[in-house]
Homo-oligomer: A and B are copies of this chain.
Amino acid sequence: MSAAPAIVPPGGTIGILGGGQLGRMLALAAARLGLKCHIYSPEEDAPAFQVAAAHTRGSFDDIAALEGFARACDVVTFEFENVPAETIERIGPVFPSAATLRITQDRFEEKSFVNALGLKTAPFRKVDGPADGSGILKTRRLGYDGKGQAKVADAREIAAAYARFHSAPCILEGFVDFAFEASVIAARGRDGAFAAYDPPENLHENHILRRSTVPSRLSAAQVAEAKDIARKIADALDYVGVLAVELFVARDGQLLVNEIAPRVHNSGHWTIEACAISQFEQHIRAVAGWPLGDASRHSDAAMENLIGDEVAAWRKLAANGGALHLYGKSEIRAGRKMGHVTWLKGSRG
Query: What residues make up the interface of A, taking CB atoms closer than 8 Å to B?
Result: 7, 9-11, 24, 27-28, 31-34, 36, 49-53, 273, 276-277, 285, 290-291, 293-294, 296-299, 311, 314-315, 318-319, 321-328, 330, 339, 342, 344, 347-349
Query: Are B291 and A318 in contact, CB atoms less than 8 angstroms apart?
Result: yes
Query: Are B277 and A323 in contact, CB atoms less than 8 angstroms apart?
Result: yes
- Shortest CB–CB separation between residue A118 and chain B, in angstroms? 31
- Shortest CB–CB separation between residue A28 and chain B, in angstroms? 5
Residues of B within 8 A of A325 (CB): 32-34
Residues of B within 8 A of A349 (CB): 296-298
Query: Are A299 and B347 in contact, CB atoms less than 8 angstroms apart?
Result: yes
Residues of B within 8 A of A276 (CB): 273, 322-323, 342, 344
Residues of B within 8 A of A311 (CB): 10
Query: Are A298 and B344 in contact, CB atoms less than 8 angstroms apart?
Result: yes
Residues of B within 8 A of A293 (CB): 318, 321, 323
Query: Are A318 and B285 in contact, CB atoms less than 8 angstroms apart?
Result: yes
Residues of B within 8 A of A53 (CB): 49-51
Query: Are A348 and B299 in contact, CB atoms less than 8 angstroms apart?
Result: yes
CA A348 to CA B296, docked complex, whole Å = 8
Residues of B within 8 A of A328 (CB): 10-11, 31, 34, 36
CA A53 to CA B27, docked complex, whole Å = 13
- Shortest CB–CB separation between residue A14 and chain B, in angstroms? 12
Residue on B with the closest CB to A320? B291
Query: Are A314 and B31 in contact, CB atoms less than 8 angstroms apart?
Result: no
Query: Are B24 and A339 in contact, CB atoms less than 8 angstroms apart?
Result: no
A selection of 30 A-B contacts at a CB cut-off of 8 Å is: A7-B315, A9-B314, A11-B328, A24-B31, A27-B51, A33-B318, A33-B324, A33-B325, A34-B325, A34-B326, A49-B53, A276-B322, A276-B323, A276-B344, A277-B323, A285-B318, A290-B315, A290-B318, A291-B315, A293-B318, A293-B321, A294-B321, A297-B348, A297-B349, A298-B298, A298-B299, A298-B347, A298-B349, A299-B299, A347-B348
Residues of B within 8 A of A297 (CB): 348-349
- Shortest CB–CB separation between residue A182 and chain B, in angstroms? 20
CA A50 to CA B54, docked complex, whole Å = 8
Query: Are A319 and B348 in contact, CB atoms less than 8 angstroms apart?
Result: no
